[in-house]
A and B are shown apart, each in its own frame.
Chain A
Amino acid sequence: MTKFATVTSAAIAAGLLLVATSLSAAENITFWTLNFSSEAANKAFTAVVSDFEAANPGAEVTVVTRGTDDHKTAIRVAAGTDKGPDIYFMWAGLGLGGEYVKAGLSLPLDKYYADYKWDDEVVPAAGSFSRMYPGGRHGVPSSLSGEALYYNKSLFAKAGITSTPANYDELVADAEKLKAAGIPAIAFGGTVNWHVMRLMDVILEAKCGAEKHDALTAMTVKWTDEACVVQSFGELQKWGKNYILSPFMGIDDSQAFNLFLANRAAMMLEGDWLVQQLAEAGKIDDIDLFPFPTRTNRLYGFANYYYVSSKSKNPDLAAKFLDYLLSTPVQQKLLGVSGTTSINKNVTYGELRPMTKKWLDLFNTHDKVFLNGDQAFPLDITTEYFRVINEVVSGNMAPADAAAAMQTFITNKG
């Protein structure tokens, strides 16, 4: 606590020092982000903004929050006008975030990364996304999410599984053991397309390896040329037929979670946010987790980012605000309010749930992340990827046809 206080006061002192050297005239920036998950998060963020304004006389930060879909549309609505934001929230990756970068709406931040030394503060896995765009570094991380396999300890024991699988084949062998014990291995909800997609993503990573998987999502190699693609679709079909709690195409992810809580299936491929939900459901002691054994040493997940708009009239102030936001004291303050882990690696953690601790270790030990397919692909390809996955997993499309369908769509897009 005392340490926290000294850090804070040091930061404020540093802030005051900066004021004396730079800013003079009144400047304002607009900050567009998603609705905060709770009132506490909202308050904490408002406090951060007013602290920043207090430390930088003349600076004014207007925060506008919206729902997810509204936010996506709002940015498009603003794109044609000059009324857009200076800083906007968007997911990282060539899909959603990349589209805005491609349309020239994001300002390259290389200069600020160097000036403010953000790389010294940011968790490497979270920061890695800023490098994936052509033409410079774009955006700074706001949060990092990982996805892993949660499993029901007693169901695993019942099926005679004593250790977590070390590779994909062992995982399939475990799924087979569960099946033999009459336990569906894993629960998915098919109506939200991105849920089953996770399984395909991780199988591709396991079967094709990191490099080839990246080339596939970047669409620089043909889906039909790589044997591992057909193989992966074949594996997906196998899971759909044998191991996924059925029926699953007619339910959504949260209904699948209900079934998982009711011990109807042994595993779920879910994100770090599930820890909180498991705790609320009083099931946290029955569940543990392990990363999907892809053996590529990359974490499966995605990051939320803040980008500076290329139309911003005050990019320096925007970068300064982002620097303040990323700083250790501010992140320390936001910790536990807007997330259980921070993208700042210097943040200190108090007493943590064992499972949260596990996630933190996963974030800190992985310096590379492979993205969820729907963040990696452009929107139209994502839509087709969903369709093909759903056809394969419900047994309506042969694996080879699936690879061909993907490639045809990609080729047609040109």
Chain B
Amino acid sequence: MNAVEIVQVSAAWAPLGALLLLALATVATGLDGAIAARAAGHPWQQGLRLPWAETARLLRQRRRTTVAADRLLWRTAGAGLLVTALLKIVVVPLGAWTLSDMSVGLVWFNAMDILVWALVWLAGWGPNSAHSLIGGYRFLGQALSYELPLMFALTAPATAAGSLRVGDIVTAQQGLWFIVWMPVAFLVFCAALMGFSVWGPFSTPFGADIAGGVLAETSGIDRWLLLAGRWALLTAGSAFGVTLFLGGGAGPVLPAWLWVLVKTGILLAALVLLRRRLPALRPDRIAAAAWLVVLPLVLLQVLIVSVVVVGRG
């Protein structure tokens, strides 16, 4: 395996990055729909159409508002999730190419993640509705639980690579993927990834028990933006996970850029399959587990990585 030299490409390629992100998110949604359709007794092919049918439905639906809604913040937050996902992939190298090879790429990703805190909460606050607001607060509680473990999980690869530059982290994995000796950090990253995408077991801010929570009052394009934003965040997070832990574009035969897409697809599919097997984690339970069990474990992981790095000199 030859080390891939990461080059920064012109910002004119950004729309292509956005298209790839949305295409992967659509595939993941289709897969999710296909599995759900089979479980409901329909042919699975019917479920593949689901992202398109839902998009058509929401494009045709009227937007709505509520009495005394904070429209500006509500709409901004709705569109913000998708924008955040796009900003996240700016630092993810697609094989040899990256949109921005900034020296603090890892911190950039984390900063975008903090943006999600504000956006989901504002989306819950905007419509001036009890169920939405409870959804927004549930997310803040959840974010307090996943954010610190996530930050330490991100620290592990950075420590091993001795750099915050995402390109350096990929290069440092040429011999051995980080997942092999940082499994705990990888698992914590995957859980936090579902957390900031407000998805799967971490979807209680959008839960059925609060009539859709943050989604309760949205319709039409506003609803589409929130739903698509969540899937896009999940996809962007998976792509970043591939970059940090699964060797980025490293792999035989196929070109590096294709490996990134394939690995991202596989990680997404694994998450979609996992979701069917797990109930939602009730928000009041997550905090204790995150702070008492997960945080010490991930700190231990960082310690081990640090000792190995020091030992290697």
Whether both chains belong to one complex is answered with no
Q: Which residues of A contact B (CB under 8 A)?
A: none
| Interface set of B (CB-CB < 8 Å, partner A) | none
